[in-house]
Amino acid sequence: MSVILRRLFKDRGITLTIFCLAGILLIWLYVAFFPLILEQAENLRGLMESLPTGLLRAFGIENLDIFNIEGFLTYKHYSMMVPLMLIFLMASLAGSGLSGEVERGTIEISLACPVSRLSIYFGLYFGGLVMLIIFTICAVLPIFPLAGIYNTAVVSNYHFLVGVMSLFFGWAVFSLSMLVSAVNSEQRRTYMVFGGIIFVMYILDLISALVGSVSWMKYLSFFYYYNPNYILLNNSIPAIAILIFAASAIVFTVAGAVYFRSRDIAI
Amino acid sequence: MAAIEIKNLKKHFGPTRAVDGISFDVEKKEIFGFLGPNGAGKTTTIRCMMDFIRPTDGSVSILGIDSRGAAVELKNKIGYLPGTVRLYDKWTGEDHIDYVRRLRKCNDNARDMAKFLDLDISVKTRHLSLGNSQKLGLILALMGDPEILVLDEPTLGLDPLFQDSVYELLKKANSEGKTIFMSSHYLGDVERICDRVEIIKEGKLVAAEGVRDLKQKRIYKVQAFFAGSFDRNAFEIEGVEITSETSESLSMDVKGDINPLIARLGNFELRDLQIEHASLKDIFLEFYEKR
């Protein structure tokens, strides 16, 4: 399994580096521009207040104060860019790792060796999880040195909690993408199916926030549970979010592994 | 105990019966040919043997071990060369060798083989020609000193010189005690190297042949262009069929031994002579169509 894991880092190291650099640069950008936001505080506050409450709720930014660094990062970085980058990174790893290898036929090199399919699956899986941790660290923790450089006070606990929630969200997303990739034999098809599921989840969350009669649909979406704004307001991660992400990850992982173990692998 | 035992193997893809109830044994230290035209079921059978795909019915046993139940244990003893070698295009040959060496936990005899096959393993594989990719595939298959080699069309797309190197390598491996199972859709391939041949067509075995018998089933397409006049009746020879003729030439199909025809042609002055092997498809039509 360690050989497969090592190979993943060799093949996808550049992708991970690019994502990590993007995460660092984005948070740097937001921290650097935050003083400018404060200068425009009054105008922006008026603009925010003029927006419909339903719309703010739909985007998870109702009751959000963007005029402190935590609120600003919640709005710009943690609620948008971090989950978006996590989704792209995790889908890319899972898609190229399983269905991509089946499509290109290179999986035969591993399958012809004395290594079980589960070792191949979990080698990629644990490699992906290590990459998830590295990316999350790069996307969240630079806030501390950057806040020092720009003389901005931060609430440490909030950023740690957002990091933990991002990890659980990324774990669930990665497990889902591994399941989709284990089922498919074409990388493009994997991206389409996985992208479709994520898109539907996003739409469900959006509609449920706008239309009260179907508010139950939010429970079907990861985006409802991934809520940095809740952490900002309550200084804790909702237990249900952790539970849902962990349970989904375990179910998707087991389903993906069982299917990959028993499926026909042919080009 | 046979090295490979296949019993009533079936693999259906929906309504398509890719392999439909084949059974045969391969003895230890044998070079066994698995011959059939494209789409006959050769690769599907091999993929079942390698546990890449699972049989609809039947069993594959290698060295007395069920290929599905103990696939990991078995693959320590099997070297596999796919029909079309697929490589990581951003890796060098050395990267591939290193990867397989770690997975197989074996000593590295690959560099010697690369030298023998005149392959530069330091270049990225996207720069390798088809023949060089095949060479690397063969090296990967032979790594770890496997007891059995399963080769799917090992000389596909290779030039004749390299084909000779492959045969030499396989004969050497066989002389060291390895069992070799190779598929091909070229009669010439299996004739040159195999001890015994099974012939598959449309998912079913149509014949088992010794190589000597198989040679009798050769068909040649001969076109003789005469410099002067010739006697058509001189070519009424057993096994020779005249398929067309002009005032200057004869086209003939020859089944089996070609020497009587060559001797007869020697009695005439020729302007040109063309001899081709008939395709496997033609041979199947001639000998196995009605089975």
Query: Cα B204–B209–B214 angle (5° rounding)?
Result: 115
Average pLDDT score over chain B? 87
Q: Residue B224: phi, psi to the nearest 5?
A: -115, 130
Instruction: For chain A, say whether B1 makes contact (Cβ under 8 Å).
Output: no
Complete domains list, chain B, with CATH: 4-214 (3.40.50.300), 218-290 (3.30.70)
Mutate to test the interface with B, among A12, A108, A185, A258 (most CBs of B within 10 A): A108
Region B163-175 average pLDDT: 87
Mean pLDDT on A165-173: 97
Chain A contact for B290, CB < 8 A? no
**A98/A260 Cα distance (integer angstroms):** 9
Give the strand pairing for B16-26 and B65-66. Answer: unpaired
**Contact A90/A197 with Cβ under 8 angstroms?**
no
Rounded to 5°, angle at Cα A171 from A170 and A174 = 80
Could you read off the pLDDT of A124-144 as tens digits, one per residue?
Answer: 999 999 999 999 999 999 999
pLDDT band at B239 (very low <50, low <70, confident <90, very high): confident
**Helix extents (H) in A40-116:** 41-50, 53-58, 69-73, 82-94, 100-104, 107-111
Q: How close does chain B come to A112, measured CA to CA in Å?
A: 6
Mutation for testing the A interface, residue in B45, B88, B98, B148 having most A CBs under 10 Å: B88
Please answer whether residues B251 and B244 qualify as being in contact, where contact means their C-beta atoms are separated by less than 8 angstroms. Answer: yes
DSSP string, A2-48: HHHHHHHHHHHHHHHHHHHHHHHHHHHHHHHHHHHHHHTHHHHHHHH
Express each pLDDT in B73-105 by its tens digit. 899 999 999 988 999 999 999 999 999 999 998
Match 């006697």 to its residue by tokens: B231
Q: Do B52 and A7 touch (CB under 8 A)?
A: no
The Cα B149–Cα B178 span in angstroms is 7
pLDDT beyond 90 at B163: no
pTM reported for the whole predicted model: 0.85
> Could you tell me which residue, B213 or A221, shows the higher pLDDT?
A221
Residue B164 confidence class, pLDDT cut points 50, 70, 90 = confident
What pLDDT score does B36 carry? 86
Please say whether the beta carbons of B101 and B143 come within 8 A: yes
Q: Would the pLDDT of B290 be above 60?
A: no
Tell me the backbone φ, ψ of residue B82, rounded to 5 degrees.
-75, 165
Please say whether the beta carbons of B25 and B5 come within 8 A: yes
> Is residue B92 within 8 Å of B135, Cβ to Cβ?
no
**Minimum-distance CB partner of B103 among A10, A110, A262:** A110
Three-state secondary-structure class, residue B78 = strand
pLDDT for residue A168: 97
Q: What is the DSSP letter of B77?
A: S
- Which residue's structure tokens are 């196995």? B288
Q: How confident is the model at residue A10 (pLDDT cuts 50, 70, 90)?
A: confident
Tokens 């979010």 found at: A241
d(CA B119, CA B130): 12
Q: Is B82 on the interface with A (CB under 8 A)?
A: yes
Q: In the prediction, which pLDDT does A60 show?
A: 62
- Taking only the tens place, the pLDDT of each residue in B64-75 is 988 887 888 899
d(CA B159, CA B129): 11
Of A3, A106, A265, the CB nearest to B53: A265
User: At a CB cut-off of 8 Å and minimum separation 6, what does B196 contact?
Assistant: B30, B32, B33, B208, B209, B210, B211
In this prediction, residue B212 has a pLDDT band, given cuts at 50, 70 and 90, of: low
Scanning the structure block, which residue is given the tokens 């001639």? B286
What is the spatial distance between Cα A170 and Cα A119, in angstroms, rounded to a whole number? 22
Query: Please, which residues have CB within 8 angstroms of residue A9's CB and are 6 or more apart in sequence?
Result: A16, A127, A130, A131
Phi and psi torsions of A140, nearest 5°: -120, -50
Taking only the tens place, the pLDDT of each residue in A105-126 is 999 999 999 999 999 999 999 9
The string of DSSP codes covering B13-43 is: ETTEEEEEEEEEEE-TT-EEEEE--TTSSHH
